[in-house]
Chains A and B, each alone.
Chain A
Amino acid sequence: MTRRTLRRLGANPVLAIAGAVIVCLVAAALLAPLLAPFDPNAMRVGPRLSPPGGPHLFGTDELGRDLFSRVLYGARLTLWVGAVAVGIGLLVGVMTGLVAGYVTGLVRSVLMRGIDVLYAFPDTLIALALLAFLGPSLTNAMIAIGISVIPYYARVTYSVVLVERAKPYVDACAMVGAGGARVLFRHILPNCFAPLIVVASLGFSSAVLSAAGLSFLGLGAQPPAPEWGAILANGRNYITRAPWILIFPGLAITFTVLAFNIAGDGLRRSLDPRQRKVT
C-alpha cells in the first residue's frame, strides 16, 4: 500500500471507527484473562439468571456464569475462527490461483474447473456438507468454513496473475535469469495483495457469521465453550426470563461483522480506482 492510500484510509472517519472497533476487539481477546471479572465457565449457585448490573455487567446465565466474561472470552474464539478460516482460504486459494494462472495446459484446466465447480455452490452448502461428515466441533467448523471459501481467493489470485504475466516486466525477469517460482512469488504475488486484502477482510466477517450460525445450530462450538453463537443457542431456552443472554452476544457478533464489513468496503474503495468512481 502506498502512503497515499494510507492517507486516504485515515481520512475516512467511518473507516477509522471500524478500525478502532477491530483494535478493541483484538485487545479484548488478548487481555480477556485480565479484563474478565470472573472465570467464563465457573458455575455459581447464587446469581442464576440475574439481570445486568452489579458485579455482573451483562447479567448471568442459567448456571450462574458471568455473561460479560463469557462474551469477552468469546472474542478470542471468534477472532481465532475468522483467522483460521481466512488463513486456510488464503493459503490454498492463493497457491491454486498462482499455479493455475502461471502454468498452462491440463494442470490449469483441472485446477480452474475444480474451482469453478466449487464456486457454483454457496459456501454455506460446502461448509455444511463437510461439517456433516467431519462431525460437529469448532475446529471442524473452522476447517469447513476455510475450505468453503477457497474459490474466492483462488479466483481473485488467478485473475490478477493472468493480467500480470502478460506484462513486459515478467519477460524481463525471465530474461535476466529469474526462475518461474521467483517470478511468481517475488514479482507477481505482491500485485495480488491489494485485492486479496479486500477479499480477506470481507471474508473474515462472513467467516465469523458462518461460525456463529453453525454454533447456534449445535454444529460448531460445543458447550461449555463461550462462543457467541453457542451462547445465543443456549439463551434461546430462556428467551422470556433472561433476554439479556440473547442481546449481548448478538450485539457482539453484529459489531464485529459490521467493523470488518466497513473495513473491507473502505479498503476496496481506497485500493480499487474503479470502485472509487462508481460508489
Chain B
Amino acid sequence: MLTFLARRGIAAVITLLVSTFAVSMLIHIVPGDPVTVMMSQSVTATPEAMDEMRTRLGLDLPLWQQYLNFLGRVVSGDLGRTIMGNEPVLGLLVDRLPNTLVLAVSGLVVACAVGLPLGILAARRQGSLFDSLVMVGAVVGVSVPNFWLGLILLVFFSLTLGWLPVAGEGWQSLILPAVTLGATYSAVIARMCRSSMIEVLSEDYIRTARSKGLSQRTVLLRHALKPAMISVVTVIGLIFGYLMGGQVIIENVFSWNGIGRLAVQSMLQRDYPLIQGFLLIFATTIICVSIILDIVYVFLDPRTAHG
C-alpha cells in the first residue's frame, strides 16, 4: 500500500511540475507582445509602465529563469497580483472558492441522487421499457447544452413562475444551478452505473449468490454494488474535479460568484496572472482528486494496490 501511494505521489508531483511549467509558459503563445495585449485596455499604458509590467512579470528573463521564479513564487503561495485591480490573485481565488465548492457539491449530490438509482434499476430490469427510457433520457441528458438548459429553467421557474430568484447567494438561488448541473451529470452517472452493473451481474459469483437462494435485493446491494462502483466512483471523482474547476459556463448563466465566473472575466480582460492562478488551482484540484480516487480504489478493490 505504501509503495503504491509513493508511486502515485511521485507521478502526481511530476504532473504538477509539468502543469506549472505549461501554465508559466502559456503567456508566450499570446500572439504579439503579451504586455501590449494586456495593457491595451489600460489608460496608463505608457512605454515606462509597459517596461515595468514586463519586469514585474519577469518576461525579460531567460525562459528557465522565468519558470524557476514562477515555481518559487507558487511554492511560497504567491500567485502574483491582478493587472486590473492590483489585488493578490490567491486571495481573490480563495474568496470565491467556497461558492464554487458549494455549487460543485450540490450539483454532484443531485447527479448521484438521480443517476445512481436510475442506473441500478435500469441494469436490474435490463431490456425493459424502464431501461429503454433511462437510456434515452441519458443520451438526451448529455446532448442538451447545460447552459441552454439553465437559461430555459431560469425563464420558466424564475421569470415566468417567480418561484426562484434569478441570481444571488442564498440557498434558493442554488437550486436552479444545482439542478442544471445535476441533469447533465446524472445522465453520465446513470449510463456508467447501468453498464457497470450489467457487467458485474453476469459474473459467476453472482450466479452462485442467486443459486444460494439470496433475494434479488441482497444480490444487488450486497454482492454486485461494490464491485460495480469502481468505475462509477471514477466517473463521480472526475465530475467532482471538473466541477471544482469552476463550472465556468453555469456560474456565468446564474451569475454565481465562483472562481469559474472570475476566470471568464479574467480571460475577457486578458488578466494573465489571474488566468494563470485559476489554471493552477484547477490543475491542482484535478491532481488531488485523482490521488483520492486511487486511494478509494484500493478500498473498493484491494488488488489495485498490487497491480
Nearest 10 CB-CB pairings of A with B = A250-B148, A258-B143, A257-B143, A132-B267, A132-B275, A133-B26, A117-B18, A122-B242, A133-B30, A133-B29
- For the complex formed, measure the closest distance between the CB of B49 and the CB atoms of chain A, giving whole angstroms: 21
- For the complex formed, measure the closest distance between the CB of B89 and the CB atoms of chain A, giving whole angstroms: 14
Contact assessment for A134 and B29 in the assembled complex, using a CB-CB cutoff below 8 Å = yes
Contact assessment for B264 and A120 in the assembled complex, using a CB-CB cutoff below 8 Å = no
Contact assessment for A125 and B287 in the assembled complex, using a CB-CB cutoff below 8 Å = no
Bound-state Cα–Cα, A265 to B155, Å: 32
Contact assessment for A121 and B283 in the assembled complex, using a CB-CB cutoff below 8 Å = yes
Contact assessment for A125 and B31 in the assembled complex, using a CB-CB cutoff below 8 Å = no
Per-position binary interface string of chain A over residues 217-250, scored 1 when its CB falls under 8 Å from any chain B CB and 0 otherwise? 1110000000001001000100110010011001
Bound-state Cα–Cα, A159 to B154, Å: 44
> Is B177 on the interface with A (CB-CB < 8 A)?
no
19 residue pairs of the A-B complex, CB under 8 angstroms, read A117-B14, A120-B286, A120-B287, A120-B290, A121-B286, A122-B245, A124-B248, A128-B263, A128-B267, A129-B275, A130-B29, A132-B279, A133-B26, A133-B29, A134-B29, A209-B145, A217-B248, A229-B145, A254-B145
- For the complex formed, measure the closest distance between the CB of A50 and the CB atoms of chain B, giving whole angstroms: 19
- For the complex formed, measure the closest distance between the CB of A83 and the CB atoms of chain B, giving whole angstroms: 19
Q: Which residues 155-207 of B have a CB within 8 angstroms of A? A: 155, 159, 195, 198-199
> Is A279 on the interface with B (CB-CB < 8 A)?
yes
Contacts of B29 in A (CB 8 A): 130, 133-134
Bound-state Cα–Cα, A135 to B267, Å: 8
> Is B68 on the interface with A (CB-CB < 8 A)?
no
Contact assessment for A246 and B139 in the assembled complex, using a CB-CB cutoff below 8 Å = no
Contact assessment for B199 and A219 in the assembled complex, using a CB-CB cutoff below 8 Å = no
Contact assessment for B27 and A133 in the assembled complex, using a CB-CB cutoff below 8 Å = yes
> Is B84 on the interface with A (CB-CB < 8 A)?
no
Contacts of B290 in A (CB 8 A): 120
Bound-state Cα–Cα, A277 to B144, Å: 28
Q: A129-B22, A239-B159 are in contact. List 9 more A-B contacts (CB 8 A).
A: A124-B248, A133-B27, A240-B159, A250-B151, A258-B139, A261-B139, A278-B199, A279-B195, A279-B198
> Is B82 on the interface with A (CB-CB < 8 A)?
no
- Which secondary structure dominates chain B's binding surface? helix
- For the complex formed, measure the closest distance between the CB of B58 and the CB atoms of chain A, giving whole angstroms: 16
Bound-state Cα–Cα, A74 to B295, Å: 46
**Number of contacting residues on B, CB 8 A?**
50
| Chain A residue at smallest Cβ distance from B245 | A125
With A239-B159, A279-B198 in contact, do A246 and B286 touch (Cβ < 8 Å)? no
Q: Which residues 9-28 of B have a CB within 8 angstroms of A? A: 14-15, 18-19, 22-23, 26-27
Contact assessment for B279 and A129 in the assembled complex, using a CB-CB cutoff below 8 Å = yes
Bound-state Cα–Cα, A35 to B154, Å: 33
Contact assessment for B267 and A219 in the assembled complex, using a CB-CB cutoff below 8 Å = yes
> Is B252 on the interface with A (CB-CB < 8 A)?
yes
With A125-B283, A133-B275, A232-B148 in contact, do A246 and B248 touch (Cβ < 8 Å)? no
Contacts of A253 in B (CB 8 A): 145, 148
Contacts of A278 in B (CB 8 A): 195, 198-199
Bound-state Cα–Cα, A122 to B285, Å: 11
> Is B113 on the interface with A (CB-CB < 8 A)?
no
> Is B268 on the interface with A (CB-CB < 8 A)?
yes
Bound-state Cα–Cα, A213 to B184, Å: 14
Contacts of A246 in B (CB 8 A): 148, 151-152, 155
Q: Which of A117, A136, A205, A219 has the most chain B CB atoms closer than 10 A to its own CB?
A: A117
Q: Which of B18, B27, B143, B286 contacts A254 (CB 8 A)?
A: B143
Contacts of A218 in B (CB 8 A): 264, 268
Contacts of A254 in B (CB 8 A): 140, 143-145, 148
Contact assessment for B151 and A261 in the assembled complex, using a CB-CB cutoff below 8 Å = no
